[in-house]
Structure 1
């Protein structure tokens, strides 16, 4: 059984790959965070628009199940 020692060049290339992967991961997490915030804002706008379209109608629950149970 032979043990191979890591060459300095191997360590440097692995270290460099790790740094690149770490930076890419950070960038993706940052973009994901921005997208989540955008989705939250869009959902709030959608709620406001729905309220403007039907201001008299509060959040209505589906009546189908209740109608089936009472028949």
Structure 2
């Protein structure tokens, strides 16, 4: 739930099920690419429920840092 709230607060990053894009994308593997695994399997695989994968795109680095900071501050 916390990962989902964080991702929804991002303004530049798109929530995607893939990370192959020129724009910044993010995803929560536990609810997307690894959703078929139960909690125990996720932990063994090193994919905790709150993990967020971020693939940085071509946006200005300062804009990305500011966006991540504001999303963390909530």
TM-score normalised by L of structure 2: 0.22
TM-score by length of structure 1 reads 0.22
Larger Rg: 1
Q: More strand by proportion, 1 or 2? A: 2
Greater share of residues in helix: 1
- Which has the higher relative contact order, 1 or 2, with Cα contacts under 8 A spaced 6 or more apart? 2
